[in-house]
Amino acid sequence: MPTALQMASDDAALAAAVIRSRKLLNKRAMVAAAASAVPVPGLDWAVDAAMLSKLIPEINREFGLTPQQLDQLDPKKRDQVQKAVTLVGSVLIGKFISRDLILKAATKIGMRLTTKQLAKYVPFAGQIVAATVGYAAIRYLGEEHMKDCIRVAQQAQLEVPLLGYSA
């Protein structure tokens, strides 16, 4: 299965959006990994939800797919994007990110998160496993979301913003 960068390789703007998004993703995944290593029940779930609720809109922004960015498109292009979102099946593109949407996304990695919860109670080695699984879970969700954004941008023939993330 191709990575997001491989999917975007023929479009410089998409490839740049992937690179910027991966920088954001790596930072957030490291924080999630650190929280996963702490043996406090529920802390990692709260951190994961907080990370994802910030990360997903930032990735959307990089691809020009936030609700505000979509509102600025002409109606015909906006309809194309909405059809592409429906075709791709993403619940996280072009929407305000709520706790419910994050929970739907997290169900994709439910088994990994359960493993992380169980592993953290095994002394030392379990915390390393929990941190590794936490990092991998956030990375997986972020990478899959980037792939969805690329599919939508390509199907809707959307021009991806060339400017970097600014917030």
Judge if pTM exceeds 0.85. no
Write down the pLDDT at residue 167. Answer: 43
Tell me if 63 sits within 8 A of 17, measured CB to CB: yes
Tell me if 29 sits within 8 A of 142, measured CB to CB: yes
Task: Kindly state the average pLDDT of the residues 143-163.
Answer: 92
Write down the pLDDT at residue 56. Answer: 93
Q: What is the mean pLDDT of the chain?
A: 83
Question: Band of the pLDDT at 113, cuts 50, 70, 90?
Answer: low
- Asked if the model's pLDDT at residue 78 lies above 80, the reply is yes
- Asked if the model's pLDDT at residue 19 lies above 50, the reply is yes
What digits encode the pLDDT tens for the residues 22-72?
A: 999 999 999 888 887 777 766 777 777 888 889 999 999 999 999 999 999
CB atoms within 10 A of CB 105: 20
Could you give the angle at the alpha carbon of 89 between the alpha carbons of 56 and 15, nearest 5°? 50
Write down the pLDDT at residue 162. Answer: 77
